[in-house]
Amino acid sequence: MEEELAKHLKQLADQFHGLAPVKCRELAFEYAERNNIPVPAEWTEKQCAGIEWFGRFLARRHLSVRTPEATSLGRATTAFNKTTVGEFFENLAVVMDRHTFPPHMIYNVDETVQKPRQVVIEKGKKQVGSITSAERGELVTVVCEVNAAGNAIPPMFVFPRVRFKDDFMIGAPPGAKGASTRTGWMNEDTWPEFLDHLIQHTQCTPDRPMLLILDNLKAHISLKAVEKAKSNSIVMLTLPPHTSHRMQPLDVYGPFKTLYNRALDGWMRSNPGKTVSIYQIAGLVNEAFLSAVTPRNITSGFKSTGIFPYNRDIFPEEAFAPSMVSDRPNPELQPTSTGPSTSDDPDGPLPADEPPAADDNPSTLHDPHGCASPADSDVPSRPGYVSS
């Protein structure tokens, strides 16, 4: 009995639907009752297994009680599933076969901002604070880009100001680029500036195209960005929504953020009474960037996502367990009956759907994981591509 119960609890936890201790005890009692297993009178009185038994059960079955992390429904059950991941790897295989990208021309780009990290406090204290920047809500976006050979190009900074000042870039990594927007987020105007920065450092040409793997933010797949990418031989392949925590090389390791927070703590302890402003961000990022963005970390990120070396089976079956609760057949792929009416189908088969109208202006905005390619005439008609 215990083995089956433990297996069931582990499966529920893998699917992000783990049970609370009280519910586990109630389930144990119900299971024993249905299988006519004698239980102590206390169990029957309280309609659940005893606390002492539950503690021994956890020890015997190598289980523990932990507080789960909040996980969005999109990431847990609807996005990272075998079908979506499989489609991405199919698209990746097509562009890799057509262009035979060498590792130094396979790039991943990601944007990051920093937040206060957890601190150790007195047990029972309810409010936790951390000294942070001078103005609450201000952020600086840092755009990092690396390739599968283990190299990185200088990052780009987007500062929360209407007008950009050169003083913002004091202490920045050599060759880094700076820009500004009202919010500090990348937008449709600053993203083409980043592409120019990328083109300058990679020197991609029609004979030397580049694969750029990125998430599908609106700014990344705007018409202006797609046209600039195509005209400069950049093949853009976007990741499926809500999967970057598993599939983006720059998102699967945390040394950069850890070292940035360490540099931030060091600066604040060396400058007591002062607060960090956007004028110190570039210098702090430089300290973390040089230490974290190493060939070992970069190549490990590409390998652990199966992008390079290419490995579409990189994720084990248990990695897709959370999506099992929402698995259902795709109605578009189900066979439809075309035969005569039967007693089980008194109304006969449904009429065939009208063929979809041709899209005169296809766009990645309709695709979860698109690809803008410099050579569009031979692009296969499959989800995930943008054709002009």
pLDDT mean for each 10 residues of the chain (388 residues): 80 66 87 87 90 89 76 56 89 93 95 55 46 57 94 94 94 96 92 96 94 89 88 92 86 77 88 86 92 92 95 88 58 53 43 42 39 40 36
The CA-CA-CA angle for residues 371, 244, 363, to 5°, reads 25
In the prediction, which pLDDT does 15 show? 52
Q: Which residue carries 């500036």 as its tokens? A: 193
In the prediction, which pLDDT does 332 show? 56
Q: What is the pLDDT of residues 168-183, one digit of tens each?
A: 999 999 999 999 999 9
Q: Where are the domains of the chain?
A: 2-60, 75-116+135-305
Phi, psi of 341 (to 5 degrees): -65, 145
Domain 75-116+135-305 belongs in CATH node 3.30.420.10: yes
In the prediction, which pLDDT does 57 show? 87
What rounded mean pLDDT belongs to the chain? 77
Residue 246: helix, strand or coil by DSSP? helix
What is the DSSP annotation of 78-107? IISSHHHHHHHHHHHHHHHHHH---GGGEE
The four Cα atoms 31, 37, 40, 45 give a dihedral, to 10 degrees, of 50
Distance CA 209, CA 106 (A): 9
In the prediction, which pLDDT does 13 show? 66
Based on the number of CB atoms within 10 Å of its own CB, is 338 exposed (0-12), middle (13-18) or buried (19 or more)? exposed
Phi, psi of 249 (to 5 degrees): -55, -40
- Structure tokens, 57: 């059960």
The CA-CA-CA angle for residues 32, 36, 39, to 5°, reads 55
CA 143, distance to chain mean position in Å, is: 15
Distance CA 116, CA 257 (A): 10
In the prediction, which pLDDT does 80 show? 81
Q: Helices 190-202 and 223-231 sit at what angle, rounded to 10 degrees?
A: 10
In the prediction, which pLDDT does 72 show? 52
Which residue stretches of the chain are H helix?
A: 2-14, 21-34, 41-46, 51-60, 73, 82-99, 190-202, 223-231, 244-247, 255-270, 278-292, 295-305
Contact 206, 234 (CB under 8 A): no
In the prediction, which pLDDT does 358 show? 39
